[in-house]
Chain A
């Protein structure tokens, strides 16, 4: 049955001669109701979003994020709208969406007739399902009404707690309902770790964690650097076995895609799942580098490390803040001040990465609209290349610093109680250099002093920060892209700020400075960021509230 705004059902009574005696006509609107995604494609189920990420996006101090188009230019399987074809614009209809998990959690939306077809209406805003327990350590309770209003107002996004949403369409004539279920997760079994030396063969199987997993046909592929390098045979297994040999170092993703029979596609959609694997001999052979990688897991699940750099950045930010919070003396003085400062800096990097991601998405739209040139800025291709580059550079720097320095924190705080000796072992194994070791000797001496020597602990902040600037950032991020950064600061240096509370913009501290120059960045750090963080700690002796930090609440 197709959409028809004036479908007539008639009952006609005739005599034996075929003459019409009477007629009863029932006229009805037949509207076709579907759910569509950001690209207009039909959706049968939605992948739930991370509750805290939506809140953080709505509360970002530099402005709310541009959800739901913030998907790095890619189609999303999370955002959906109701689409009704064959509904006359004269019908006054409203949509109410209710969480299947919490019936008190609901929202209403209006239908709009904005398209070329006057009889096709779409809900005004995109909607999404969310949860908390699948991500990090956050709670899984429903958002409060105020939080939902914040997300609705700032992100133009309606949200409902999963495990699905019941959508009710009410018109003056009747009431209809449809379900948007949450996609079931893909379950990997048999994988025994998520970091391996080169040459390792990993084996396991993947299936859909749904009531009837046998209905799905699962395919598994291995990805490295954005390319598929191996995949399972397309033999239609519902519990698909796989075996891949990881020959070279890198960050791999085992991805599984489940296709139900076409007749079943509306029940739970087409689930996807991934398992992240790091292949690196140094990491695999270093207990603390390995532990740093494993610390990135979500909820302690193997292979759950975020492959998306923005999500990974958020996890790194949280880990830095936790390291700061959890190591202090009885008087509440924090030992690892660098970790506290790094949490703020990492949060700022995440904001910048997000901005670059949004830019990429907007350019994708510009391309679709046929825009070839952005006034004053150059061709969209050039601009996209630049955005892509800045995004990648920020992601690289954040990841590089984390994998370089965070393992030494894990070494020092290891429950084996060997403290600085564990860091010394990393030095002896050629895993770190002496400048980082020296910073740890300074911290160790400061902690061991009676009373704790705060001067030494602050000195170590300088040593680690300068080490990071000099070694990690300058050689890898700034110097190979010197022209890029020089140009950036020449044009927009006044906007280059740090997330350290109350800190000043780069150019106001280093007039005519060059952000690509290590000396200029060290001046910024030495003359402004460092003393501003000292002041912040003096005024805020308590722990860093991770949620407040991620939401941009410290200024």
Chain B
């Protein structure tokens, strides 16, 4: 993406960038303190928020509370196909039904969903309303995993142990800190997460994702490449 000036070159572009000054800075603000307070506050608010629910590895029609957009598919040249991914970008109460039957529920500031062959293969949520200090983000991550009966992989456990030694890292110039976790009793899905930096603080990004053996039949990677497009298409209910 770029800011293009059709007539007068970069001076006008500069003006465009200048002109948004009055409304800038209305972001989520600097990192807050008190991880448990923030968590409880989020829980309270979740009760009043709109509800979004979905079945991981279910049809896109199981997505309730949000309409899955459709568009022309320029790969397979077919009209009116569900787009690859969609997002709910207003804070909401998220309910995810896992393939194994467990139900996970959490506040989410932003959730995105990805589908193949009209089947939802990943749900990516931002579980905190505000930006966090680094150690808050790490402890909130551990709380969330425990709440969901999930366990970091061995390599991730060592990584988290390192993170706890860093103190409150500045987000400036830092890279995302990734890891993965398994969910006890769930064979068809697991978790990928990142502690991510942005201006003014850190946040968590948590992905509930179908495992590869569950995705592969949906991808049409073997045989006819049009498998994906010709798979049953279900129009969202909403």
Which residues on A are within 8 Å of B, measured CB to CB? 60, 62-66, 198, 224-226, 248-251, 280-283, 345, 347-352, 354-356, 358-359, 362-363, 374, 376-379, 382-387, 389-390, 392-393, 396, 400, 403-404, 429-435, 437-438, 441-442, 445-446, 449, 453, 455-456, 458-459, 462-463, 466-467, 469-471, 474-477, 479-484, 487-488, 491-492, 495-499, 505, 515-519, 522-523, 526-527, 530-531, 534
Contacts and interface: CB of A to CB of B under 8 A. Distances in A.
Per DSSP, are chain B's interface residues mostly helix, strand or loop, or mixed?
mixed
Contacts of A531: 74
13 contacts: A224-B170, A349-B1, A363-B18, A386-B25, A387-B18, A434-B212, A474-B112, A479-B109, A480-B200, A481-B199, A482-B26, A518-B89, A519-B69
Given A62-B13, A66-B10, A198-B162, A377 B18 contact: yes
Nearest to B199: A392
Contacts of A434: 121-122, 192, 207, 209-212, 215
Contacts of B74: 458, 526, 530-531, 534
B139 interface: no
Nearest to A363: B18
Max chain B C-beta neighbours (<10 A), residue from A65, A352, A392, A498:
A352
Given A351-B2, A433-B209, A63 B10 contact: yes
A432 to B, nearest CB: 7
A393 B199 CA distance: 8
A351 B72 CA distance: 30
Contact of A352 (B3, B11, B76): B3
Contact of B221 (A60, A345, A389, A442): A442
A308 to B, nearest CB: 13
Contact of B175 (A283, A456, A498): A283
Top 10 closest pairs, chain A to chain B, by CB: A63-B9, A348-B2, A483-B26, A518-B87, A433-B192, A251-B173, A430-B180, A445-B221, A386-B21, A497-B4
Contacts of A376: 19
Given A63-B5, A456-B221, A474-B110, A356 B17 contact: yes
B198 A477 contact: yes
Interface of B: 1-6, 8-11, 13-14, 16-28, 69, 71-72, 74-76, 83-87, 89, 109-110, 112, 114, 116, 121-122, 124, 126, 131, 153, 155-156, 159, 162, 165-167, 169-170, 172-180, 192, 196-200, 203, 205, 207, 209-212, 215-216, 219, 221-222, 225-226, 228
B183 to A, nearest CB: 14
B20 A487 contact: yes
B211 to A, nearest CB: 7
Nearest to A456: B225
A398 to B, nearest CB: 10
Nearest to A434: B209
Contacts of B28: 480
Nearest to A460: B75
Given A470-B85, A480-B200, A526-B83, A248 B26 contact: no
A498 B2 CA distance: 5
Contacts of B180: 430
Contact of B72 (A250, A283, A527): A527
Contacts of B219: 438, 441-442, 445
A496 B25 contact: no
A80 B174 CA distance: 36
Contact of A390 (B17, B174, B177, B222): B17
B10 A455 contact: no
Contact of B89 (A432, A466, A479): A479
Contacts of A250: 169-170, 172-174
B94 to A, nearest CB: 14
A432 B193 CA distance: 9
Nearest to B166: A248
A446 B167 CA distance: 45
Given A249-B174, A445-B221, A530-B74, A386 B18 contact: yes
A455 B155 CA distance: 36
Nearest to A494: B6
Contact of A481 (B1, B27, B86, B225): B27
A278 B76 CA distance: 42
Contact of A495 (B5, B18, B209): B5
Given A359-B17, A403-B175, A455 B76 contact: yes
Contacts, number: 303
A249 B210 CA distance: 31
Given A198-B162, A248-B169, A442-B221, A430 B16 contact: no
B212 to A, nearest CB: 7
Contacts of A382: 21-22, 24
Given A400-B175, A480-B131, A483-B24, 6 more contacts: A250-B173, A376-B19, A400-B176, A453-B225, A482-B27, A491-B20
Nearest to A505: B4
Given A385-B24, A455-B225, A495-B3, A519 B87 contact: yes
Contact of A480 (B13, B17, B198, B221): B198
B85 A522 contact: yes
Contact of A249 (B16, B114, B126, B169): B169
Contacts of B83: 466, 522-523, 526
Contacts of B165: 198
B116 to A, nearest CB: 8
B198 A430 contact: no
A479 B110 contact: yes
A345 B1 contact: yes
Given A250-B172, A386-B24, A476 B196 contact: yes
Contacts of B76: 455
Contacts of A389: 24-25, 199
B89 A517 contact: yes
A475 B206 CA distance: 11
B1 A282 contact: no
Contacts of A438: 116, 121, 212, 215, 219
A467 B9 CA distance: 32
Contacts of A530: 74
B178 A282 contact: yes
B174 A466 contact: no
Nearest to A351: B2
B155 A430 contact: yes
B178 A475 contact: no
Contacts of B18: 359, 363, 374, 377, 383, 386-387
B20 A224 contact: no
A422 to B, nearest CB: 15
B222 A386 contact: no
Which residue among A358, A470, A477 has the maximum number of chain B CB atoms within 10 Å of its CB?
Answer: A470
